[in-house]
Amino acid sequence: MQQPIEKLAIASDHAGFELKESLKEYLIQSGRVINDLGPENGDSVDYPDYGVRLAQAIATREADRGVVMCGTGVGMSIVVNRFPEIRGTLCSDVYTARLCREHNDSNVLIMGARVVGMGLAQAILSTWLNTPFEGGRHQRRLDKIKDINAILSKGEL
């Protein structure tokens, strides 16, 4: 059965703006539907504003997955992972991009525009988009993240 076309959201701050524009172009050329949540230019903005926008789009199912960038990717990582629906993964290499899909079912790809170049960012994105989640024991572990209180209440830590 053919998979429905995924809705992707993309956002950045000013430090990630150029990379966002370039990856958006790359995604459009590959036939993807993209919801660009801003910013519209490289003027200085605060990364939490755009990280929250992107996380919210996924939490409300307006988008299936998201791609978000700031200078290092660290600020965006902190912001998007405040949302329980988000499994945001900061990637600077293709190996992590593959494993965070196979093992962690990453639904937000985070990159540092001051860390990765354009070519590497494209390779990371393409790997992340095309790698399926493996499920099985990894799903059990994700279920534990959803219910952290169950681990705490065991009192074994």
Four-point Cα dihedral 59, 63, 66, 70, nearest 10: -80
Query: Which tokens belong to 11?
Result: 């956002």
Contact between 13 and ligand RB5 (CB under 6 A)?
Answer: yes
Q: For residue 74, state whether it binds ligand RB5 (rule: CB under 6 A).
A: yes
**Active-site residue 14, yes or no?**
no
Instruction: Name the active-site residue from 70, 91, 100, 138.
Output: 70
Q: Which residues from 118-157 bind ligand RB5, rule CB under 6 A?
A: none
Q: Is 138 annotated as catalytic?
A: no
Cα–Cα distance, 131 to 52 (Å, whole number):
25
Residue 117 CB burial class (10 angstroms; 0-12, 13-18, ≥19):
exposed
**Options 8, 39, 47, 55; binder of ligand RB5; rule CB under 6 A:** 47
Q: Which residues are catalytic?
A: 70, 103
Q: Which residues bind ligand RB5 (CB under 6 A)?
A: 13, 15, 47, 70-72, 74-75
